[in-house]
Amino acid sequence: MRAPTPRAVGLLTAAAAVALIPLARTWGLQWGASEDELDTGLAGDDVVPVPSLVATRAITIDAPAERVWPWLVQLGQGRGGFYSYDWLENLLGLEIHSANRIEDRWQGLAPGDEVHLAKSAALAVTIVDPPRALVLTAPDASFSWAFTLHPGRDRSTRLVVRERYARPRWWAVPVNEVVGSVSTVMSRRMLIGIRDRAEKAVR
């Protein structure tokens, strides 16, 4: 039996990579979430009732919801940051600096306020329901970002975060896919960052 040629190996490798893309995409959009969490309705779902893309990610935090909530309230550029890869965000000039402690000056948040992603880009606060749900929405209602807290086992908390993207014009579909891919990397780190900070504060 002849050994496969380099060209054949290359083609097989490329084919395998292409076949794995849908699996990687699904894993990224559902990271950490259970089947029940994927299926359940969350606060803010009605903002984008017929989405073209939904990402639901979750993590268990060994702390009660009331001790996790303050970290969510201070999210934002110019506030507590996003607890993700600051260095990567700052390569884009976003000036994000994630806080490592709760700051009283950032704890006041009400519907109608703005949470900035960058100096020139902000989401509107749609729902503030402590310590259960915080929902941020794009000004044109094309995107919603929900942070919800649910009881876990032994006083732990499940943080379930959902992004819903409205169906865009045909030419914007690839843009949504790229944004979703970037969100996978940044959101996973954000969830871990919130967990680590909340658990350390409780300890």
Tens of pLDDT, residue by residue over 10-56, are 554 444 434 444 555 666 789 999 999 999 999 999 999 989 889 99
DSSP 157-201: EEEEEEEEEE---GGGHHHHHHHHHHHHHHHHHHHHHHHHHHHHH
- Can you give the residue range of the structural domain that contains 104? 29-202
The domain tally of the chain equals 1
Strands (E), 31-189: 51-61, 114-118, 121-129, 133-137, 143-151, 157-166
Would residue 12 count as lying in a domain? no
pTM for this predicted structure: 0.84
| Residue 10 domain-assigned (yes or no) | no
Q: What is the pLDDT of residues 49-85, one digit of tens each?
A: 989 889 999 999 999 999 999 999 999 999 999 999 9
CATH number, domain of 36, equals 3.30.530.20
